[in-house]
Structure 1
C-alpha cells in the first residue's frame, strides 16, 4: 500500500510539473515577436526533472536511514532489563516479533505486555513517519517545480539541460551493466579463491574424479576434479549444436528465401513457440519420450544407449535452442540489403549461389551471434540435464552413457543448508567462474571469426 501511495505521489508530481512547464513554454512560444530557444516539450521535461529529483532524494534518504531510525525506536520501547539479557540473535528475533505485531500478523508463543505496547508504538511511529516522508517529498518536489518554472524564459536553454540529463541517464544505465558484470566476477573470484585455499587448483582443474565429501570430518573434503563435469558439459553442448545449428540455419534460409509468404506467416510463429516452452517440460519430454526412443533405436541396431545419457540431453537441448538460431538468423538474413542480391542475380548467379556467396557472408556477424547465443544457452542449461543426462560425474568418452555437467553440480553443491565456509559449498563459485571463463572464450573466438570473414568479404 505504501509503495502505491509513493508511486501515485510521484506520478501526480510529474504530471503537474510537465503540464506547468508546457503551459509556461507554450505561452512564451505564442508570444508576439518572441524568439524561443527551446520548444515547450523541453521546458516541460525540464520542470519535470527538477520536480522529480528532490522528491526522489527525500525518499532515498529515508530508504537508507529509515531502517536504523526505526530500529533505534524499537530498542527504546524494550525494557532495559530485557534488552540487557539479549544477544544479537535474540534481539533480532524480538525486533522481528515487534514488527509482526505492528503489521497485524500473528506471532508464535505468548505475547508479553511490553511486546504488545512496542508493537502499537511502532505502528503509530510508522504511520507518522510515512506521512512525514510523503509530505517532505511533496514539499520538496513542489518547491523545485516552482523554482524551475521561474527559470523558464524565452532564451532559457531547457533543451540543453534536458539532453544532459538524458545523457547522464544513458551513462548510468551503461555503468550499471558494466558494474553488475564486474560485481559478479568479483564475487565469483573472491569465493573461488577461498575454495582454492582448501583444494589445490591443479587437483581441481586437472582432476579426473568428482567425489565431494559433503559430511567432511578431519579435513577429508573429498575429490573435486573438474574434468568429468567439463567433459559432460562439452559433450552435451556439441550434440545440441549439431542438432540446432543445421536445422535452425536451414530453416532460416528456407523461410527467408524460398517459403511463400503465407507459409512463412504460419511456420515462423510455430517454430518460435518452442522458445516459450519451459525447460522443465523439455526435461520431462526427454525423460519420458526421447530417452526411451533412443534406447529402443540403439537396441535395434546393436548399440547400448541409456535412456538418460549425454545423447538424450543433447538432442532435446538442441531442439530447445532451434528457435534461437532460426529466428535470429532469419531476421539477419532479411536485413541484408536487397541491392546485394540483385547485383548477384544481375551477374548471372543462381539463387543458391547468391545465398552461399553473397547472403551468408553479409549476414555472418549476426549468424555467429545467433550461434553464440545458442552455445551460451546450451552451456548454462540445467533442468534438461538434471532429468535427461543421468547426473553421473564419471569421466567417460561415450555419448551413450550418463554424464554430469557443471551447472547440475553447482545446483547439487549449493542445495540445502550451506554455510559457505567449506569447499563443499565454495566449489559452486569455482564452477561458476569456470563457466564464465568458457563463455568469455567463446565470445572472443566469435569476434575473431567475424573480423576475419568481414575483412575477406570487404
Structure 2
C-alpha cells in the first residue's frame, strides 16, 4: 500500500504539472513573453510542491500512525499478561500479525486471536487513511500553486529554490549518515575497550585472536583479542591482489588507450569490464574449486607444501576481480591527458613508448593513484573470496602458501554467530573502526600524492 500511495502522489503531481503549465499558457495569452517564468517552470513548481507535500505526509503519517498502533497493541498484551518479557511480547505480536495475514503462528490462543482481529481492522484504517491524507496534501499543494499563478509569478525562482533545498537536504543526510556510522563505531569501540579493562595494547599488538572463547559473565579475555593476525592476513592478501591487478590493469589501460585500434578497443574494453559484473561468490567458488587444487598439485610436483586454503589463491583471484576497476579508471585518465603534451613529445623526437613512459603516465599519475587506491579498498573490504579460498583461522604468518583470514571475515563471523549480540558486537565494531582508521590514513596519503603531482600538470 505504501508503494501504491507513492505512485498515486507522483501521478497527481504529474497531473498538476500539466494543469499548471496550461494555466500559465492561458495567463500569458497572445503575449507569452510577459510571463516572468516560462510555462514549464510553472508546471515544475506545481509538480514539486504537490509531490513533496504528499511524500512528506506519507512518510510522517505512515511512521507515526504505525508506531502508535504498535504501542497500543503492546499495551493491550501487557494488560492481559503483565508477566511477559519484551521478547515474549514481540513474539505474541508477531504471531498475531501472522494470523491476521493468513499465515501460520507458532502458538494460537485467545489473546493472539483477539490481537489479530484488531490488527486486521487497524491495518486497513492505517493504510487507507494514510493514502487519503497523502493524496489530500498533494492536492492542496497543487491547487494552491494553480491559484497563486499570475503573470508576475516567480515560478522559476521558487522551483530552483525548492530543488536547491532538496539537494542540500540530500547532502545533509549523507553527512549525517556518515557521522552516525562513525559515532556508532566509536561508541562500540569504547565499550569493547572498557570490557577488556582498557588494555588497548593487547588488541593492537596481541597475536592471539579468539575473543569469544574466553567470555566469562560477558567479560572478554584480554589475552585472546590480539588483532595482529587479522591485519597481517588482510595485508598479505591485499598485497598479492594488487601485485596481480595493478600491472595487468595498468598495462591493459595503456594498450587500449594508445596502441589498440578502435575496432579492438570496441570489443576488448567491454569484455574486460565484464569481470566487474561477476558476483564475488563466483570468484570464491572458482578459487576454492579450481585454482586452489591447481596450486596445491603444482606445489606438490615441485616439492612445495601449499595448503588447500591459502592466501595465494585468494589473492590471485581477488586481483583478477580488481583488474577492471584499475584498467577502466586508468584508461579514462590516460585518455584525458591533453593531446598537446603528446604532440610536444613527438615534436621533440620521442617515440610513442617514451612519450607514454615520460609524459603521459606522469601526467595521469593522480588518476592512476586514485584507481589503485580504489582497488586496495575493494581488496580490503572483500569477504566472500577470503572465506572460500583463504580460510577462517587467525594464523599469523607471512607465508602466502598458508591459510590466513582477514578483518572483514572475522567481523562477519562475530556478527552471525550464536553468541550474545552485545558481547560479539564489541570486537566486530572495534575491528571495523580500526580498519576505518587505516583506510582513512591511506586516503590522506593518496590525496597528498595526487595534490603534489597534479600541480605540475594543471
TM-score normalised by structure 2 residue count: 0.92
Write out per-residue CA displacement over residues 52-103 of structure 1, whole angstroms, 9 at most, x where no aligned residue: 23222322231232123323554687695x2445454443333333322322
Residues 34, 154 of structure 1: 8 Å contact kept: no
Q: CA deviation at 1:30?
A: 4.2
Write out per-residue CA displacement over residues 346-385 of structure 1, whole angstroms, 9 at most, x where no aligned residue: 3322111221222222222221111111000111111111
- Output the CA distance in 1 between the equivalents of 2:349 and 2:26: 64
Residue 263 (structure 1) aligned with residue 261 (structure 2): no
Residues 83, 91 of structure 1: 8 Å contact kept: no
- Output the CA distance in 2 between the equivalents of 1:402 and 1:187: 32
- Aligned twin of 1:95: 93
1:109–1:24 Cα change, 3 Å: same
1:425–1:72 Cα change, 3 Å: closer
Q: CA deviation at 1:187?
A: 0.8
- Aligned twin of 1:347: 348
- Output the CA distance in 1 between the equivalents of 2:22 and 2:207: 73
- Aligned twin of 1:207: 206
Residues 22, 44 of structure 1: 8 Å contact kept: yes
Give unpaired runs (5+ residues) of structure 2.
none
Residues 10, 52 of structure 1: 8 Å contact kept: yes
Q: CA deviation at 1:321?
A: 0.6
Question: Equivalent residues in 2 for 1:26-175 (5 A)?
Answer: 26-32=25-31, 35-71=34-70, 73-74=72-73, 82-84=80-82, 86-112=84-110, 115-175=112-172
- Output the CA distance in 2 between the equivalents of 1:104 and 1:95: 14
1:194–1:345 Cα change, 3 Å: same
Q: Secondary structure at the match of 2:224?
A: strand
- Output the CA distance in 1 between the equivalents of 2:170 and 2:132: 30
Which is worse superposed, 437-446 or 8-17?
8-17
- Output the CA distance in 1 between the equivalents of 2:26 and 2:132: 31
CA RMSD of aligned residues (A): 2.3
- Aligned twin of 1:373: 374
- Output the CA distance in 1 between the equivalents of 2:372 and 2:122: 57
1:217–1:119 Cα change, 3 Å: closer
Q: CA deviation at 1:192?
A: 0.9
Write out per-residue CA displacement over residues 222-268 of structure 1, whole angstroms, 9 at most, x where no aligned residue: 51111111111111111111110000000010011111122112211
Q: CA deviation at 1:280?
A: 1.6
- Aligned twin of 1:223: 224
TM-score normalised by structure 1 residue count: 0.92
Residues 287, 317 of structure 2: 8 Å contact kept: yes
- Aligned twin of 2:16: 17
- Output the CA distance in 2 between the equivalents of 1:377 and 1:244: 11
Residues 29, 39 of structure 1: 8 Å contact kept: no
Which is worse superposed, 13-22 or 32-41?
32-41
- Aligned twin of 1:7: 6
Q: CA deviation at 1:220?
A: 6.2
- Output the CA distance in 2 between the equivalents of 1:24 and 1:416: 62
Give unpaired runs (5+ residues) of structure 1.
none
- Output the CA distance in 2 between the equivalents of 1:10 and 1:143: 12
Question: Equivalent residues in 2 for 1:221-260 (5 A)?
Answer: 221=221, 222-260=223-261
Residues 310, 401 of structure 1: 8 Å contact kept: yes
1:49–1:236 Cα change, 3 Å: same
Q: CA deviation at 1:457?
A: 3.6
Residues 20, 42 of structure 2: 8 Å contact kept: yes
Residue 415 (structure 1) aligned with residue 416 (structure 2): yes
